[in-house]
Amino acid sequence: MAGPERINLYSDTQTRPSPGMRRAMAEAEVADEQRREDPTVNALQERVAELLGHEAGLFLPSGTMCNAIAFRLHVRPGGDEAILDRTAHPIVAEAGGPAAISGAMLNPLDGDDGRFTPEQVRAALREPGSRYLPRSRLVSVEQTTNMGGGRVWPLDQVRGVLEVAREHGLRAHLDGARLMNASVASGVAPAEFAAGFDTAWLDFSKGLGAPVGAVLCGSRELIEEAWRYKQMWGGALRQAGVLAAACVYALDHNVDRLAEDHANARRLAKGLASLPGVELDPAKVETNIVIFSVPDPAGFERRCAAEGLELSHAPGGRLRAVTHLDVSAGQIERALAIARRALDA
Ligand SMILES: *Cc1c(COP(=O)(O)O)cnc(C)c1O
């Protein structure tokens, strides 16, 4: 007998390339990417740079490598400090990379669901010229916030943070793993959200549904320098057009439909919030991530998994559910029924 239907809310990284995307990959024009000759990679880089309003783009194997290279570009060895939210990806999910690879001192802020204010940045700045203190060097913003629950930074708040960064000569980096979710949810163009940052990137292996790939953008000069680290760290590829073709396909077909993921997340949040014992404010669910608490998270998670519903973890012993293109509205209803049984047990 077949097991229960699998409802995979573990992460939007769980998407599989669709038949159309696989066809585009199979038919991609390719050449040696390391020699900058792959036409599909080149087209993707140009397209993402234009989408984000930056001069140039660089195709990389992962979002983690985008953050790692960007931090390395901005942070100079010798006590430079990066300001970012305590729940930001470089702190919670990059194996200590900022310290190990960039020698970065990190100054974590306690933002509101991952979003800090210009005043918090100002208060975190180190007095310049002091021999005792690290040197404030970089501000990093995550749009949307992952462990903050998929929250969208309002454009004004982003601009306010950038203004403080500029005033004090800091570099600014935008972790846009889910920038397109922010854009679809808010109606703000990605280039507006990415304006004023020295580097910004998009992930294609999250809700956009490609199997692999991210594009880091910035000035021509910074991207040229980024190429050195891509080469140094073994991220340069060969006939990578087969991968880039999936990303091009994603931009053509999988952006507007993110609104469906957001609707599914809202429905899930409302349903969960109505169950006894669940702590969650559905008004805070703006995109495709739902973070919530239950009385016995480990038991709840185990009972859900036994019925085929997969969840993941968030800070503070909470659970995280993420909607994506391989999750249907019907599956959300079935997930709610499973959650109800798991709470009753
Ligand atoms: C997933 C994620 C990353 C890393 O991207 P990968 O492609 O998984 O390496 C970075 N930042 C945020 C906010 C993410 O959600």
Q: Cα–Cα distance between 147 and 11 in angstroms, integer?
A: 12
CB burial of residue 134 (10 Å; 0-12, 13-18, 19+) = middle
Last residue of a domain, one of 220, 253, 286: 253
Q: Are residues 71 and 167 in the same domain?
A: yes
In a domain, residue 118? The reply is yes
- Closest Cα to atom 6 of ligand 1: 63
Mutation choice for ligand 1 from 175, 205, 324, CB with most ligand atoms inside 8 A: 175
The CATH number given to whatever domain includes residue 312 is 3.90.1150.10
Whether 241 and 263 share a structural domain: no
- Would the pTM count as exceeding 0.85? yes
Answer yes or no: are the C-beta atoms of 289 and 279 closer than 8 Å: no
Q: How many CA atoms lie within 13 A of 316 on its CB side?
A: 13
| pLDDT, position 297 | 97
> Is 107 within the bounds of a domain?
yes
Regarding the beta carbon of 64 and ligand 1, being less than 6 Å apart is answered yes
Question: Of the residues 94, 199, 206, 215, which should be mutated to test ligand 1's pocket, given the most ligand atoms within 8 Å of the CB?
Answer: 206
Note whether 213 and 283 are same-domain residues.
no
Residue closest via CA to ligand 1's atom 3 equals 63
The Å distance, Cα 234 to ligand 1 centre, comes to: 19
User: Length of the chain, please?
Assistant: 345
In a domain, 1, yes or no: no
Q: Is residue 2 assigned to a domain?
A: no
Integer Cα distance of 148 and 326 in angstroms? 23
- State in Å: Cα 228 to ligand 1 middle: 21
Residues 267 and 207 in one domain: no
Domain identity same for 209 and 122: yes
Number of domains into which the chain is organized: 2
For position 300, what pLDDT does the model report?
98
Confidence (pLDDT) at 218: 98
Q: Do both 44 and 150 map to the same domain?
A: yes
Helix (H), strand (E), coil (C) string for the chain? CCCCCCEECCCHHHCCCCHHHHHHHHCCCCCCHHHCCCHHHHHHHHHHHHHHCCCEEEEECCHHHHHHHHHHHHCCCCCEEEEEECCCHHHHCCCCHHHHHHCCEEEEECCECCECCHHHHHHHCCCCCCCCCCEEEEEEEECCCCCCCCCCCCHHHHHHHHHHHHHCCCEEEEEECCHHHHHHHHCCCHHHHHCCCCEEEEECCCCCCCCCCEEEEECHHHHHHHHHHHHHCCCCCCCCHHHHHHHHHHHHHCCCCHHHHHHHHHHHHHHHHCCCCCECCHHHCCCCEEEEECCCHHHHHHHHHHCCEECEEECCCEEEEECCCCCCHHHHHHHHHHHHHHHHC
Given the CA of residue 206, which atom of ligand 1 is nearest to it?
Answer: 1
Q: State in Å: Cα 127 to ligand 1 middle.
A: 32
Q: Out of 212, 230, 253, pick the residue that ends a domain.
A: 253
| Distance between Cα 128 and ligand 1 center (Å) | 32
Same domain, 285 and 184: no
CATH number assigned to the domain comprising residue 32? 3.40.640.10
Does ligand 1 come within 6 angstroms of the Cβ of 312?
A: no
Tell how far the Cα of 90 is from the centroid of ligand 1, in angstroms. 9
Among residues 187, 222, 253, the one where a domain terminates is 253
Q: Is residue 94 part of a domain?
A: yes
Do residues 246 and 265 share a domain?
no
pLDDT, tens digit only, all 345 positions of the chain: 567 899 999 999 999 999 999 999 999 999 999 999 999 999 999 999 999 999 999 999 999 999 999 999 999 988 999 999 999 999 999 999 999 999 999 999 999 999 999 999 999 999 999 999 999 999 999 999 999 999 999 999 999 999 999 999 999 999 999 999 999 999 999 999 999 999 999 999 999 999 999 999 999 999 999 999 999 999 999 999 999 999 999 999 999 999 999 999 999 999 999 999 999 999 999 999 999 999 999 999 999 999 999 999 999 999 999 999 999 999 999 999 999 999 998
What pLDDT sits at residue 304?
A: 98
pLDDT the model gives residue 3: 79
Give the Cα separation of 172 and 188 in Å (integer): 19
CA–CA dist 301, 338 (Å, integer): 11
pLDDT for 4 equals 86
Range of the domain at 83: 19-253
- Looking at the fold, whether 227 and 264 belong to one and the same domain comes out as no
Q: What pLDDT score was predicted for residue 1?
A: 53
Whether residue 140 has its Cβ less than 6 Å from ligand 1: no
In a domain, 197, yes or no: yes
Residue of 13, 60, 64 to mutate, ligand 1, most atoms within 8 A of C-beta: 64
Measured N-to-C along each axis, helices 329-344 and 258-273 cross at an angle, to the nearest 10 degrees, of: 20
Residue 206 falls inside a structural domain: yes
Q: Domain check: are 188 and 207 in the same one?
A: yes
Q: Which residues pair with 171 in a beta bridge?
A: 138
249/234 Cα distance (integer angstroms): 26
CA of 305 to the centre of ligand 1 (A): 24
**Could you tell me which residues come within 8 angstroms of residue 17 by beta carbon, excluding any fewer than 6 positions away?**
25, 209, 210, 211, 246
Let me know whether 77 and 216 are in one domain.
Answer: yes
* 31 and 170 part of one domain: yes
